[in-house]
A and B are shown apart, each in its own frame.
Chain A
Amino acid sequence: ETGVTQSPTHLIKTRGQQVTLRCSSQSGHNTVSWYQQALGQGPQFIFQYYREEENGRGNFPPRFSGLQFPNYSSELNVNALELDDSALYLCASTLGGVSTDTQYFGPGTRLTVL
């Protein structure tokens, strides 16, 4: 148990729709990162938030956006869904400075885009 939860567990959407995925971090964990993991591949970094501000972004288009809230929860929003967005979406939280701390991952949300 990592203390990080994600909802929903599974989700099916159609192309062009919008989706919001949610993550609840451990209390006191100020940094949250989101990753996309396609089947058979390693996770790809989407973005990272520290104390409600985005402070890092991977190679993902602007239709991937996020929010972090003071209660250690966060959201990943994806607009105009494409078939290639089908993947496992993982969030991870870190107590403080990400350079040295262990990340704690949630179980992920499996998104299928039809």
Chain B
Amino acid sequence: KQEVTQIPAALSVPEGENLVLNCSFTDSAIYNLQWFRQDPGKGLTSLLLIQSSQREQTSGRLNASLDKSSGRSTLYIAASQPGDSATYLCAVRLVDSNYQLIWGAGTKLIIKP
């Protein structure tokens, strides 16, 4: 059974710092991995999608990496800003079980001005 874990559960850093969020999964048989952002009272916004054959994806100040063999992904945020404050979730799409997404519980990020 696929399990997705995100550490830490919460993180508070000063504005301007570079930071890394971690995601680990137990079964390497995945189609892809996605990072999402969730703001309070709002739905989820897809940030980056990494196919199983890829090693990383970049969008602006965000860079996500994927190491299937070790069951790990990281989300790197450069030059953090208060607007980056949100909960960040990773999700893996299974190869079987009709491609459903399995989610981590998220990391709540607070960027202090």
Contacts and interface: CB of A to CB of B under 8 A. Distances in A.
Nearest to B102: A45
Contacts of A43: 44, 89, 91, 101, 103
Interface in A83-105: 90, 92, 98-100, 102-105
Contact of B100 (A40, A42, A58, A105): A58
Given A99-B31, A100-B51, A102-B34, A42 B43 contact: no
A55 B46 contact: no
A98 B105 contact: no
Contacts of A2: 43, 45
Interface residues of B, number: 26
Contacts of A99: 31-32, 93, 99
Contacts of A103: 34, 46, 101
Contacts of B36: 105
B104 interface: yes
B98 interface: yes
Interface majority SS (helix, strand, loop, mixed), chain B: strand
Nearest to A56: B98
B61 interface: no
Contact of A105 (B31, B32, B45, B104): B45
A42 B42 contact: no
Interface in B34-79: 34, 36, 41-46, 49, 51
A3 to B, nearest CB: 11
Interface string A25-45: 000000001010000111111
Contacts of B42: 107-108
By Cβ-Cβ distance, the 6 closest A-B pairs, closest first, are A56-B98, A42-B103, A105-B43, A105-B44, A45-B100, A107-B43
